[in-house]
Structure 1
Amino acid sequence: MASPKTSQSPTGGPRSPVDNIPAPDLAAPIAVDEDEENSELESLQSSTSTSITSSIRHYRYENGRRYHAYQDGAYPIPNDEKEQDRLDLFHHIFRLMNGGSLYRAPIPADAQKILDIGTGTGIWAVDFADEFPGAEVIGTDLSPIQPSWVPPNCKFYIEDVEGEWSNTGSAKYDFIHIRGMTGAIGDWHGLYKKAYDNLKPGGWIEVQEFNGELFSDDGTLAKATSVLEWQRLINEASTKFGKKMDGADDHQQRLIDAGFANVQDDIFKAPVGHWPKDKKLKELGRFNQVQVLDGIEAYSVALFTRVLGMSNEETQLWIAKARSDFKNPAFHLYTRFHFVYGQKPLTEE
């Protein structure tokens, strides 16, 4: 099964740990397990090295959720325990999709300095630090929600990546990792320019993102009218907010525009629900359904109330309607996850 797009193929150099785990053929429809059509949804739903000032912990509480204090309002997704649980599940989904690996780029085994942008709970950075004990791993985020007990080669900083890289911009990196920042970045081109400037020649960047668009191979998406309307509202609100939810298809070209070479976009289908016949996709779909059902509220509340001017009651009604469609086993919905990676040339033209 082949990946959909590539600018030019890498030649020589270290091999990625997932060389034998190719991206799937997007043209191949996901087979439906007919025995699941009438089944019930299984109850899987989810129940710093820094000088942080106290103001960073003065979080905003709004409509039953907790939001970042640093750069208040810049990121419309909560940072509370419910969202942290979803982020950790998200991490598991990415690893499950990628054969257990944390990345797809062919980074060298002796990589020395790693940056994880938008580290969230820090779970990716901690796992990477465990796998690369000789590397220094730095994670950045707007909130100090990372664990205090971490590997000695892992550190966290509070930093807005769209601002000055005061804590992380003083050294060149071998690998920069960005994941789950859909809806959080207003200027992707500016971010990729900073990443390019802060990578060593020959260093790699990898962007792991979900596509905000939904798909079906059998036409059942057209019947999920509540989900389609919710998706339209999310796209409208995020566009007005200046941080679009539906830009995952653009990352490959953005990296090329920033000067990266050997850029590849490996795209995976991620079912929502346990309707696929394939056992691995069924397992993936179970976890992704839980993540999506939790994520609907996480992504909706601030955008719908602050940007679209809805009441929380109206927002919760839309959330309930969308969840109902996502739980319907007759709707064979999936989204797409992108693993986009590229290399800073050894010599610049």
Structure 2
Amino acid sequence: MHDWPGFFKQVWDNLEPDGWLETSEVQFPCRRADQEDQKPSPFVQWGENVLQGTRKAGIDAAANEKFSDQLRAQGFIQIDRVDVQWPIKPWAKGDKNKYLGKLLYRNTLDAVPAIATGVFTRCLGWSKDQVDTFCKEVIEDVDDKESHFYYPMVLHLAQKPLDA
């Protein structure tokens, strides 16, 4: 997304008064759940590279940090921000988190090479061979049985006032 304020304006213009908007955006890079150690992580580096590459493409992959202010500026009320952790692989406690972890693991296996191929080759000048080699390291890092990664997710809820 190149223009979040423009998107929020478009939502505002098309949302009925008293209607609600919900956003859910991942924060890059992923993080380790239990501060496992500070050893270098190809998966964390992949996320840092995504941030760097998207920034060069004019996309702010950390834009969700500004959503509360942007929603307020647009006129929304009842703005609520919720930070959650979505586990990658079924390591987290609870059936819901284990199920979510399985889904996010499968999604990550597809997303890592897809995002890297597009962003790293177009925006960071990597060759396809460099991307393929790095993605192999990233997936090995994700597959490490000792690693407990999660995606930080930021959810925002906001309401258009009844009198708008």
Distance 2:83 2:116 in 1: 25
TM-score, length-normalised on structure 1?
Answer: 0.44
Match of residue 331, structure 1, among 124, 147, 161: 147
Match of residue 56, structure 2, among 240, 255, 273: 240
Is the 1:223–1:331 contact (alpha carbons within 8 Å) kept by the matching residues of 2? Answer: no
Partner amino acid, structure 2, of 1:281: N
Structure 1, unaligned runs of 5 or more: 1-184
Range with bigger deviation, 241-250 or 187-196: 241-250
Match of residue 106, structure 2, among 263, 277, 290: 290
Distance 2:25 2:112 in 1: 16
Q: How does 1:178-327 map to 2 (within 5 A)?
A: 185-220=1-36, 222-327=38-143
Q: How does 1:77-96 map to 2 (within 5 A)?
A: none
Q: C-alpha offsets along residues 157-193 of structure 1, whole Å, 9 cap, x if unaligned?
A: xxxxxxxxxxxxxxxxxxxxxxxxxxxx111011111
1:265 CA drift (Å): 1.9
Using CA pairs below 8 Å that are at least 6 residues apart, which structure has the higher relative contact order?
Answer: 2
**Larger relative helix fraction:** 2
1:313 CA drift (Å): 0.8
Moved >6 Å (runs of 4+)? none
Is the 1:273–1:329 contact (alpha carbons within 8 Å) kept by the matching residues of 2? Answer: no
Range with bigger deviation, 217-226 or 252-261: 217-226
Structure of greater Rg: 1
Distance 1:325 1:226 in 2: 6
Is the 1:212–1:247 contact (alpha carbons within 8 Å) kept by the matching residues of 2? Answer: no
- What CA RMSD, in Å, does the superposition of the two structures yield over aligned residues? 1.8
Is the 2:29–2:45 contact (alpha carbons within 8 Å) kept by the matching residues of 1? Answer: no
1:221 CA drift (Å): 6.2
Distance 1:337 1:305 in 2: 26
Counting aligned pairs with the same residue, the percent is 26
Q: C-alpha offsets along residues 215-270 of structure 1, whole Å, 9 cap, x if unaligned?
A: 22421263352122222211110000011223333323321221100111233211
Distance 1:277 1:187 in 2: 37
Count of residues in Structure 1 that have an aligned counterpart in Structure 2 = 164
- The 3 A distance-change label for structure 1 pair 262 and 221 is farther
